[in-house]
A = this chain, B = another copy of it.
Amino acid sequence: MNEGYKDLGFAKLDIDRKARTGFAEVVFCEGKEEEYLVKIYKNLLEENGEVFGTRASIAQYEAVKAVIPEVSYDKTSRILKVSKADKILTGNIAVCTAGTADIPVAEEAAQTAEFFGGKVNRFYDIGVSGLHRLMAVKDQIAQANCVIAVAGMEGALASVLGGLVSNPVIGVPTSTGYGVGAGGKTALYAMLSTCANGVATVNIDNGYGAGYIATQINRLAEGKGSAE
Identify the A interface with B (CB < 8 A). 3-5, 10-12, 14, 16-17, 20-23, 26, 30-32, 36, 98-101, 103, 124-133, 136, 145, 153-156, 159-160, 162-168, 170, 173, 175-181, 184-206, 209-210, 212-213, 216-217, 220-221, 223, 225-227
CA–CA, A128 and B189, complex, Å: 16
Distance between Cα atoms of A166 and B22 in the complex (Å): 6
A133 touches B195 (CB 8 A): no
A126 and B223 CA atoms in complex are apart in Å by 30
- Chain B, residue nearest A181 (CB): B193
In the bound complex, do residue B160 and residue A156 qualify as a contact, i.e. CB atoms below 8 Å apart? yes
With beta carbons under 8 angstroms apart, the residue of B167, B175, B194, B201 that contacts A200 is B201
30 contacts between A and B (CB under 8 A): A12-B126, A26-B197, A129-B162, A129-B194, A129-B195, A131-B163, A145-B220, A153-B195, A156-B160, A166-B225, A168-B216, A168-B217, A168-B226, A178-B206, A179-B184, A179-B193, A180-B192, A186-B189, A188-B192, A189-B189, A190-B190, A192-B202, A197-B213, A198-B216, A199-B213, A200-B202, A200-B209, A217-B217, A220-B221, A221-B225
A26 CB to closest chain B CB, in angstroms? 7
| Bound: A14/B159 CA distance, A | 15
